[in-house]
Structure 1
Amino acid sequence: MTLQKAEVLGTGAYLPGDPITNEDVERLVGPLPEDILDGLQVGVRHWIIDPETGEHREGNCDLAYKATLDALERSGVEPAEVDLIITSTASPDYLLPPMATFLQERLGLRACSVVEVRSGCAGFVEAADIARLYLERGLKRTAVIVGSETISPLLVPVYRGVEPRKIRMRDRMNPYNFGDGAAAMVMRAAANEGDESGAGGGRGGGVLGGAIACVGGDHKPGMQIFGAGGTHAPIHRQLEAKRLIDLKVDVIESGRFTPHVITEAMRETLAATGLAAGDVDLCVLPEGNAGYLTEELAEAGLLTPEWTALQPKIFENLALVAATGSAAVPLALDHAWRTGAVKPDDLVMLLAIETSKWKYAGLAVRWTAAPPA
């Protein structure tokens, strides 16, 4: 079978509310030591909640919808042309129906293929990999892939009604670290003028290949959301907990194991596409800048020649949006496109890892979207 190729037409993004500074967060939860604050690398974040009251001003689907409209407009695509929607989120408005179905409704589509990936940081790249398989096989023509996250409601129980000085230091970190946001990408099937296998992709544009895996089969979760009406425990037991919903992060294990996961992700993505690290023009690796990554890799003895080649090409915007889960990769990618950091014919590698159960996803794309107006 002669495969088509999945080309990127454009991206879009949406951040809710006004930027919330570190000084704003300090008033809510108290200060962090300067060295820890520097390590987080976050300067501002956006939340759907009113920081003072905890009331919601928007919902997850609202963010996804606005990011999708932005992406469609910048791609020159009408909503009616979309025949595949794939979303990723770890913070849906409801357990059911999937958020993707509400996004379909908001776009005015009576019938459309929809898939939702329940994931965090790795989810958007996983979703993009699924979409490109449908496009390559000619099963669908135009796909919208969305990463959207509303983490701020999980942060409110940490500080609402509590004096900042009484909040434990470890509980203060999440409000500083996490933000809300959404970003979307539009892909379309096109005739493949390159290598039909997809490996290496020739000089043709579009997705060249990718790699996904969970490598935490022998590790405890590094990040976990408890409660929220899940079925892991009786509801009456959940109601007895100190917090109905709780976000827990294993900071120590994240620092230790993350370099191994991201290195495997990088190597497997290069292997799957037949590329060398030197071929990559831009590596979108959110939630950790090149200096921070170098430090962790060096401590783990993993500062390989591949990383040395990729270091000056790493792109992220963590300082501007904070850690945003499923939205992290597309928000950084959209920022790169809007600012001219990525241009047509550039070879872009998307790398994402997720500490929840140590997942990774990588995708290599020969960029085809024209510079945005």
Structure 2
Amino acid sequence: MEFKALENAVYINNLSAVMPNDPVSNADMEKVLGQVGGQRSRAKSIILRSNQIKSRHYGIDPETGEFNYTNAQLAAEAVEKLLPSASELAQIDTLVASTSLPDQSLPNHGVMVHGELKNPPCEVISTSGICLCGVTALKYGYMAIKAGESKKGVVVASELASSVMHARNFTGESDYKIKQLEAKPELAFEKDFLRWMLSDGAGAALLSNEPSATGLSLKIDWIDVLSFANELEACMYAGAEKENGQLKGSAFYSSQEREQLSLSAIKQDVKLLNENIVKVTVEKALSQIAAKRDIKPEDYDFFLPHYSSGYFRERLFQGLQNIDFEIPFEKWFTNLPNKGNTGSASIFIMLDELFHSGNLKQGQKLLCYIPESGRFSSAFMQLSVV
């Protein structure tokens, strides 16, 4: 069956990013996030050496130790930075908001952001997931304009990962282990691993059916998203425990068990991640997309890869080589070392920095790569500078 593409072009007219509070160095991370059971993490230094992140941001007041942002407030601030006047906000007809970790289960994150913004009634959509939900939100905004259902929309992705990484979330599990094992309190590695990997931030994009009258815009040529959940079990998860390869959700545990097992914590099956993240989200996914879109590596002036750790940089490059899609490092753009891994917001935060860098020129093409280890999904996106 052949699909006829709709004619409406879609442009990113502007981007913004918000990083809460001052940068937090590696040395100060435990001062902000706290120590579990009063003990320094034994995994922290190893993980930080591997991920090559030098600083990141948290929505936590470093003086008081209290949160000074909600996730919805962080997202709203990114939108307000994008559209600073009430009249500009009033012009949007679609708001798409995305996060992995909303402030509450219900209502959805999107309407909470709308409530913070207080702009006039408009269509509000929220997408969920992990790293990929930012680009699925962008695809909804893109498709709405392409279908002629929207003329001007805002897409925003935000993460407040510190809300589930703070030491107070693990007190119950730590106390439980002391009583049960009479051992030093220590998190399972798959939980402690992510405490030093994730950080907070938000990014927003303004979309319309016309390029900006002045300055640059990014034309969205296409966005392709692929899930490989039919092939692999869950790798990154929260609100559940993994038993024999299957997830058992927190609703099936007692309140005491939920606390003792720190079920709100984000967990990562590191072995499964290492074995599959490049092979599946790069080699399998891009092979299919390259054939579908008839693209070649030399088509691109910039490659924006979202990877969670510097550890994966060389492995990602090797994966591209394995499928004859080698893009040299001089074309890569990332801000992971100083912005950290902000999950679904990462691609927006990268695009914002590049967009305002002065390094983009008419006619250049960008290839963006956004993987997700949740149950192994991948997205690639092509943008043209106009």
Is the TM value for this pair above 0.5?
yes
| Paired positions, count | 351
Q: 2:29 aligns with which of 20, 25, 28?
A: 25
| Cα separation, 2, equivalents of 1:173 and 1:325 | 15
Contact 1:222 1:355 in 2 (8 A): yes
Scaled by the length of structure 1, the TM-score of the pair is 0.83
Contact 1:211 1:272 in 2 (8 A): no
Q: 2:233 aligns with which of 199, 202, 220?
A: 220
| Cα separation, 2, equivalents of 1:91 and 1:309 | 33
Counterpart residue identity of residue 304, structure 1: I
| Cα separation, 2, equivalents of 1:272 and 1:72 | 36
Residue 7 of structure 2 is aligned to residue 3 of structure 1: yes
Query: How much identity, in percent, do the aligned residues show?
Result: 21
| Cα separation, 2, equivalents of 1:220 and 1:302 | 26
2:269 paired residue number: 250
| Cα separation, 2, equivalents of 1:48 and 1:64 | 12
2:214 paired residue number: none
Question: Does the residue aligned with 1:212 lie in a helix, a strand or coil?
Answer: strand
Q: CA deviation at 1:256?
A: 1.4
| Cα separation, 2, equivalents of 1:112 and 1:131 | 13
Q: CA deviation at 1:217?
A: 1.6
| Cα separation, 1, equivalents of 2:116 and 2:286 | 36
Could you list the per-position Cα deviations for residues 309-355 of structure 1 after superposition, in whole angstroms to 9, with x for gaps in the alignment? 35432211111122211111111111112223434432112210100
Residue 256 of structure 2 is aligned to residue 211 of structure 1: no
The structure-2 alpha-carbon separation of the partners of 1:244 and 1:34, relative to structure 1 and needing over 3 Å to count, comes to closer
1:320 paired residue number: 338
2:245 paired residue number: none
The structure-2 alpha-carbon separation of the partners of 1:275 and 1:250, relative to structure 1 and needing over 3 Å to count, comes to same
Residue 83 of structure 2 is aligned to residue 57 of structure 1: no
Q: CA deviation at 1:53?
A: 6.7
Counterpart residue identity of residue 229, structure 2: G
Pairwise mapping of residues 1-373 of structure 1 onto structure 2 (< 5 A)? 3-26=7-30, 28=35, 29-30=40-41, 32=43, 36-50=47-61, 55-73=66-84, 78-157=88-167, 166-168=185-187, 170=189, 171-190=191-210, 206-226=219-239, 232-234=251-253, 236=255, 238-239=257-258, 241-260=260-279, 261-287=281-307, 292-295=312-315, 298=318, 303-306=322-325, 308-368=326-386
* Structure 1 stretch displaced more, 134-143 or 259-268: 259-268
Could you list the per-position Cα deviations for residues 250-297 of structure 1 after superposition, in whole angstroms to 9, with x for gaps in the alignment? 122212101121233333444444332211111111225788433355
RMSD: 3.1
Structure 2 unaligned spans of 5+: 176-183, 212-216, 242-248
| Cα separation, 2, equivalents of 1:291 and 1:240 | 32
Could you list the per-position Cα deviations for residues 133-172 of structure 1 after superposition, in whole angstroms to 9, with x for gaps in the alignment? 1111211001111111111111114787679x84347244
Question: Does the residue aligned with 1:116 lie in a helix, a strand or coil?
Answer: strand
Contact 1:178 1:323 in 2 (8 A): yes
Q: CA deviation at 1:33?
A: 7.0
Structure 1 unaligned spans of 5+: 192-203, 369-373
Contact 1:157 1:243 in 2 (8 A): no
Counterpart residue identity of residue 109, structure 1: N
Counterpart residue identity of residue 294, structure 1: E
2:179 paired residue number: none
Q: CA deviation at 1:43?
A: 0.9
| Cα separation, 1, equivalents of 2:289 and 2:348 | 18
Contact 1:46 1:181 in 2 (8 A): yes
| Cα separation, 2, equivalents of 1:143 and 1:239 | 39
Scaled by the length of structure 2, the TM-score of the pair is 0.81
Counterpart residue identity of residue 73, structure 2: D
The structure-2 alpha-carbon separation of the partners of 1:113 and 1:13, relative to structure 1 and needing over 3 Å to count, comes to same
Contact 1:178 1:324 in 2 (8 A): yes
